[in-house]
Structure 1
């Protein structure tokens, strides 16, 4: 049986996927808010998508049935019920889903080769750059999640961030963007004496961060995670050794003329 942590992670992933399937209207609203990014896939056609494995094909088939049978059950409970059904299946019952996955992977390889064959060198380079950026973004997200799990202190807030947190709810804007715009305008109108209060709070937050990050980094060194430290310890610079004077050679004295 798979570990409980792995099962929980899979359940949460499937819950997010089903949440997208079951709430299309909210997904459309989110997409409408996102800025348009010009990428290779949007200009020259996207490459074929990787096929689902056997286990992911089973929830895709069972999810509408479970939702219809249990309309008041949350998405997480739906995933749990589907996972229980999958574990209860025999190898013979799982075989059709596995076979579909094998056929889909074979077709995916053919489609991918066909897609790459019609690309120009510039499009191939653009596709590689997109993949590199996508992997770098995933890596940054995983690293940030790891740092949060390890309890890394939050960075100090700026004076404006502190002001925005205290006055966000009472801002006049109707949307988040409008509120931020109004808060920026109100901040610019504040007198220097009024801003001084938030500047002091920001300075105190910097002291807090400095103490907490130092303690956290010491703890990371004890755990053997020096790779998570901001800057590595500087090596001690050895003082230059003085050369011993050679025997039998007198020091030459230089006589400088001129006014003292």
Structure 2
């Protein structure tokens, strides 16, 4: 099947831009060494420096959706959610698999047998040194922290919306009735007459 190529992540866009420079600087470097260098450089980038790659990733997502529509292929929802929504944290092995797919073009052929791909990725992971695996563990920890931060921001935003809706609902209810004797509507409550004041009023009448 001639399926549209899935959109690249921010990190994959960054890798494409920097990979050639690393291979030129370190001739004969293994894929694992190149990925280690890329991960190290990516970690040092500021949010502002990562922004161009995020924009490139967003454009590639548009390309993917457009190609799916033109070919009559159903858009992969998980892929779109990963780019637009809250992406679940990845394990060290998942990050390695993503790098391996990009480096060695694993999974590019839809007819490839999945178990063989899994075995290839696992073998590549087992061949990494302890230091190289530790680098992926650090990236996984950073991704988990990213996920927790995004979850916290979403919860806080939800709490603010709920508090605002509750406040607006309460204000709307008070606007249609005199809450607490008119205090909520902006009018002071009427004071109850004392017996003496009532007698004086009756004499005047």
Using the size of structure 1 for normalisation, the TM-score is: 0.29
